[in-house]
Amino acid sequence: MLKGFVVTLTVALAVMAACLTETPRPMAPAAVQPGAVLVDTGFTAMSPELGSFYTWIKGGEYKAFTVSFTPVEGAAWYQARLSTSPITIDNWDNALIAGEIPAPAESALVFLQPRVISEACIGCGLCEAACPILPSKAIQVVNGLAVINEDLCGSCGLCEDACPVNAIEGGRMGEGYYVGIRAFFSDTEASQDIQASLEAMQIVTFIYDSIPAGGCLRCMTNAPEGACTTCALLMEYNASGVYTGPSCPVGAIWQDLDNVYGLRGMVYIDYDLCINCGQCFLECWNYRDVINPDELYQHNQAVRRLVLPAGTLPEVPPNPARR
């Protein structure tokens, strides 16, 4: 159970930026406390709105690290930052601002969510063209400004890579990050100490079934007689000819219909191809709600997000088509 508050990237960032441009910056930090921030591994947090009925899901919904830290007396809020290098006094100012945590708190969610720097955006549309999410792009140019739909965005970072003016920034899936936490007492006063994690962590997409084999077998085992037994992630139309949504844009999802590994029909992610776009997550979590609300077996929520040490991947069998 989280004891703190959920961090969102929309909490008064514009207001805070305006305040900091009109008032002196807080004094540069004087010390780093390595190991003072702990990052949970395993499945990421789940929405509390799902309720106790869905506790079997065991999390995996949010694109967020669950972090714990030591509360600072008198803090008004905490700032969370991410860095691909160990956080130090020298690189704190260059670390990515990942959100603000209202006090009091000793744990929180730190989200990997890109944001558009509106002052820099030129509305060129290259970000929208680069976004792999379909049928509706997760980032679109509206009235000359790029706008991110956080419900669709998988934080793959492709829009950031495509932007010619560096108008998009934020954490991305599959990238290893150290987490830093600094207490703020006001707009102009902050703690001299930074709390930081010792190890870089990443969030990756993972397909999970009741059989802990790094894949999903539910549609094959739970489908009623005569129902379609092909994973919804691999088809655009169900057995009734209803459009269910696009499949993986890079062909990273594969199904073992030939029983190569002893579990016929198991569905896996090929991590050599995966771009962390989140298309499979959207399809797996939304299929029943949008297409077949009466077919509970189809609403698997088997695609989840998993926190692992940077540089590691879930153990899954290799795709026989690419061996």
Whole-number pLDDT of residue 20: 37
Residues in Cβ contact with 17 at an 8 Å cutoff, skipping those fewer than 6 apart = none
For the chain, where do the domains classified as CATH 3.30.70.20 start and end? 116-169
CA 172 to the chain's CA centroid: 7
For the chain, where do the domains classified as CATH 2.60.40.10 start and end? 13-113+174-199
Contact call for residues 180 and 77 (beta carbons, < 8 A): no
CA angle 178–171–206, rounded 5-degree value: 90
Can you point out the beta strands (E) in the chain? Answer: 31-34, 38-39, 42-43, 64-68, 77-83, 96-102, 107-111, 115-116, 139-142, 145-148, 168-169, 178-184, 193-196, 201-207, 253-255, 267-269, 303-309
- The CA-to-CA distance between both ends of the chain, in Å, stands at 43
Whole-number pLDDT of residue 261: 87
Whole-number pLDDT of residue 298: 44
Nearest to 179 by CA among 37, 312, 28: 37
CATH T-level topology, domain 116-169: Alpha-Beta Plaits (3.30.70)
247-286 per-position pLDDT tens digit: 788 989 988 878 888 887 888 999 999 999 999 998 888 7
Distance in angstroms (rounded) separating the CA atoms of residues 232 and 300? 10
Omega before 135 within 30 of 0, i.e. cis: yes
CA angle 262–266–268, rounded 5-degree value: 115
Return the CATH architecture of domain 13-113+174-199. Answer: Sandwich (2.60)
Whole-number pLDDT of residue 54: 55
Whole-number pLDDT of residue 2: 38
pLDDT under 50: residue ranges of the chain: 1-22, 226-227, 288, 290-291, 293, 295-298
Nearest to 65 by CA among 195, 209, 207, 180: 180
